[in-house]
Amino acid sequence: MRWNKKLGCIKIRVGFSSQVFVVTDMKDHKKQIVFSWGVFFWCTICITITCFAALGLLFTDGFNPGVVSTWNIPANDAVSPELPEIPAISIQQTVIFPDEALVFLKYPPSSTLFTKDAINCIYLHPNSTQPQLELSPSSVDFDYDNHHQIVRCPLPPRGTVPSLVIKQKVNLRPGPTYEWDSLAYEALIDRDNTTVVFVKGFNLRSGKADDPSKFKCIYGQDLTKSKFVLQADVVSVAQEIVRCKTPPSILRLISSNNDNPFKVSVRFVGKRAINSIARVKIDKPLHNNKQHQMCMCTMLRNQARFLREWVTYHSRIGVDRYFIYDNNSDDDIEGTIDSLVGDDYNITRHVWPWIKTQEAGFAHCALKARDSCEWVGFTDIDEFLHLPTNVSLQDVVKNQTRQSDVGELRISCHTFGPSGLKEIPEQGVMVGYTCRMVAPERHKSIVRPEALDSSLINVVHHFNLKTRFRHVNVDRSLLVINHYKYQVWEVFKEKFVRRAPAYVADWQQDKDVGSKDRTPGLGTKPVEPSDWSTRYCQVWDTRLKKWILENFTDPETGLLPWEKIRLNV
Per-residue pLDDT of the chain (569 residues; tens, 9 = 90+): 444 443 344 343 333 333 333 333 333 333 343 444 454 555 555 555 444 444 343 333 333 333 333 233 233 333 333 333 334 789 999 999 998 999 999 888 777 888 999 999 999 998 888 999 999 999 999 887 777 899 999 999 999 999 999 887 788 999 999 999 999 999 999 999 999 999 999 989 888 999 999 999 999 999 988 888 999 999 999 999 999 999 999 999 888 776 677 999 999 999 999 999 999 988 766 556 789 999 999 999 999 999 999 999 999 999 999 999 999 999 999 999 999 999 999 999 999 999 999 999 999 999 999 999 999 999 999 999 999 999 999 999 999 999 999 999 999 999 999 999 999 999 999 999 999 999 998 899 999 999 999 999 998 789 999 999 999 999 999 999 999 999 999 999 887 666 555 545 454 555 555 555 455 556 667 788 899 999 999 999 999 999 999 999 999 999 999 999 999 98
Beta strands per DSSP E along 379-530? 383-386, 406-415, 435-436, 443-447, 470-473, 480-483
**Beta strands per DSSP E along 334-442:** 347-351, 373-378, 383-386, 406-415, 435-436
Give ∠ CA 371-376-379 in degrees, rounded to 5.
145
Say how far apart CA 50 and CA 174 lie, in whole Å: 40
CA nearest neighbour of 464 among 137, 179, 236: 236
What phi and psi, each to the nearest 5 degrees, are found at residue 274? -70, 145
The C-alpha atoms of residue 538 and residue 469 are separated, in whole angstroms, by 37
Residue whose C-alpha is closest to residue 131's, from 96, 169, 95: 169
User: 140 has which bridge partners?
Assistant: 151
Record the pTM: 0.81
